[in-house]
Amino acid sequence: MWLCHIEIRGRRLTVIGARGFACNVCGRPTSLPAVAPQSYPQQDHSRPEGSIEVVLVRHGASEAAVPDQPFELLEGQADPALAPAGERQAEAVAAHLAREPLAGLYVTPLRRTAQTAAPLAALTGLEPVVVPELREIHLGEFDGGAFRIAVAQRDPRVAEVFARERWDVIPGAETMEAFERRTRAGIERIVDGLAPGATVAAVVHLGVIGELCRQASGSRPFAFIHADNGSLTRLVLLADGRWLVRSFNEAAHLY
């Protein structure tokens, strides 16, 4: 910026010329300092301060289903153990989540969730807490591994399940309304009493992840029925009681 001056009766006055013009006192070119325009950077959509985050971990891959050899049942539901691939996924989940400040670790009564949580519990010292309400959907006639076989064999009843987006198309399966109520009770049981800002992990099942994401987002019933084994889905509870799906099917840690 050019500053010019004149002196009047011994007093010095500074004259600032306009940009692109010459000073009318000395004739030198003048300019004004550039003023930065007001700007609006893109909003940061990181987790809101004081919110509670529940990291939903889908259990690792479980044992393969074999025709005429149904899985052992626990209260009417298939209870297979982890396959070797699932054990490797559990180790990868543990290495990844152990870096986060977890305040709690939760599992369901089905052993594939406890086996998936075991490496994380060992690294963090957290004792897994069983939440029965978050066990998998009851599949009625298709439980015990029969659903996997029916999918592979293109059973028309499976096509109807996905066309109508209702598990209770299967004879004897749990109703969608009952599944909604109990999974909601399960997630509320986890967050009840947690301090603002807490992060916890819950090892659960595919159907449960899909249902909780539906409740949080208001989506159609099966919009989130495609989480990978060992993947992470993050639900955030805001201070005003609203739920948000912050991420879905994080799987980079598995590769």
| Extents of the domains making up the chain | 1-35, 52-137+174-254
Instruction: Dig out the tokens for 157 from the structure.
Output: 């009843």
DSSP state, residue 66:
B
Q: Tell me what pLDDT residue 203 has.
A: 98
C-alpha–C-alpha distance, residues 235 and 6, integer Å: 69
Residues 195, 198, 200, CA angle at the centre, nearest 5°? 125
Question: What is the separation, in whole angstroms, between the first and last Cα of the chain?
Answer: 57
Contacts of 154 (CB under 8 A, 6+ apart): none
Name the DSSP class of 124: H
How confident is the prediction along the chain (255 residues), in pLDDT tens digits per residue?
A: 444 544 445 555 444 444 555 555 556 665 556 677 889 888 877 888 899 999 999 999 999 999 989 898 898 899 999 999 999 999 999 999 999 999 999 999 999 999 999 999 999 999 999 999 999 999 999 999 999 999 999 999 999 999 999 999 999 999 999 999 999 999 999 999 899 999 999 999 999 999 999 999 999 999 999 999 999 999 999 999 999 999 999 999 999
Q: What is the pLDDT of residue 42?
A: 86
Tell me how far apart the 2 most distant CA atoms of the chain are, in Å.
112
CA atoms within 13 A on the CB side of 148: 15
Alpha helices in 153-242 (DSSP H): 156-164, 176-191, 206-217
Predicted pLDDT at 16: 47
Tell whether pTM > 0.95. Answer: no
CA–CA dist 51, 42 (Å, integer): 21
Could you please state the CATH topology (level 3) that the domain comprising 52-137+174-254 is classified under: Rossmann fold (3.40.50)
pLDDT for 103 equals 97
